Amino acid sequence: MFINSFTGNRTTVLSLEERIKSSGLSHAVLIFAKEGCGANFFAKLLATDIIGGSEDDLRLVNEEAHSQVQIIKGSGASGQIKVESVRAINANVNFSSLGGEKRVVIIQNCENFNTSSANALLKNLEEPKDDITYILTTTDTSKILSTIRSRCQMYSLSQPSMEQAKAYFAAYPNEEKDEVISIYNGNIGMTKAALENPKRFEILQKALKAQKFIETADKYSLAKLMYSFNKKKDELVLFLKDMEYICSNNLSKSSINVLEAVTAAKNAMERNANLALVMQNFIISVK
């Protein structure tokens, strides 16, 4: 099965494999994992196994072009899953498949449901069809309606060990890979993004420089670096995330202060505060 290719998490993999083979898999599965631990990728592997797919099927699922696997994801800056997206899927799955083949609906990051979209899905979960399996992924189960959670078999994915992460990236030519793996504590998704995306790697490098500026009390250089994110909210979010990882690896008094400043900045951004003001407050508060 394709889920066997997933790094680590053998208990979860073996449990799901047994349920698929014994036809004991629920009509709804909830996959929980922290960001970067591969929940959405795992969902695609699982969906391919559920439909009894081949390598070509997996390729189509990854390309989001498979007729038996439909994917719902959020849109816009908030990533919110709109009710129209759920209703469109509902319209497609409310009829039995002509050939009796299994079908899968993957709903990525379902913590981004709003009330309307969650209720639209709940109706289908309450009256499931035999040929359809729903796979929901989330990074925060507390944000999911209890009525949805109660109708799902729940599985969690943990971050792989450092040894497993290093084995995963063994073939990567990047000279910085060991440092990046260490910064992200073996988080494969975060590491992969930094090693494969030059822009993402640049943001990580800025976070490392920022930490050095903070340690040397060089507020001028810190301000100059941070204002490169002006009007670039998405990049600033990634920068703050990297600062969290860097400081979490070194819980000195200075690092704890930075983590508090990062939390304050993220909370302000969730309230749609002015980015320039967010950065100014961050620079003032770190020491």
Kindly report, residue by residue over 68-86, the tens digit of the pLDDT: 999 999 876 678 898 888 8
- Write down the pLDDT at residue 97: 61
Q: Supply the angle between the helices 39-50 and 55-62 in degrees, to the nearest 10.
A: 140
Distance CA 11, CA 41 (A): 18
- Write down the pLDDT at residue 194: 96
Which stretches of the chain drop beneath a pLDDT of 70?
76-77, 94-99
Distance CA 139, CA 270 (A): 17
194 Cβ contact partners less than 8 Å away, ≥ 6 residues apart: 180, 184, 200, 201, 204
Distance CA 164, CA 182 (A): 12
- Write down the pLDDT at residue 77: 62
Contact 70, 92 (CB under 8 A): yes
Phi and psi of 157, rounded to 5°? -115, 130
Q: Residue 127, CB half-sphere, CA atoms under 13 Å: how many?
A: 8
| One-letter identity of residue 68 | Q
**Measuring CA to CA, which residue among 6, 34, 9 is closest to residue 185?**
34
What residue has token string 């709804």?
A: 28
Instruction: State the chain's maximal CA–CA distance in angstroms.
Output: 68
Phi and psi of 81, rounded to 5°? -90, 115
- Write down the pLDDT at residue 42: 97
- Write down the pLDDT at residue 174: 84
Distance CA 258, CA 245 (A): 11
Strands (DSSP E) contained in 129-241 are 132-138, 153-157
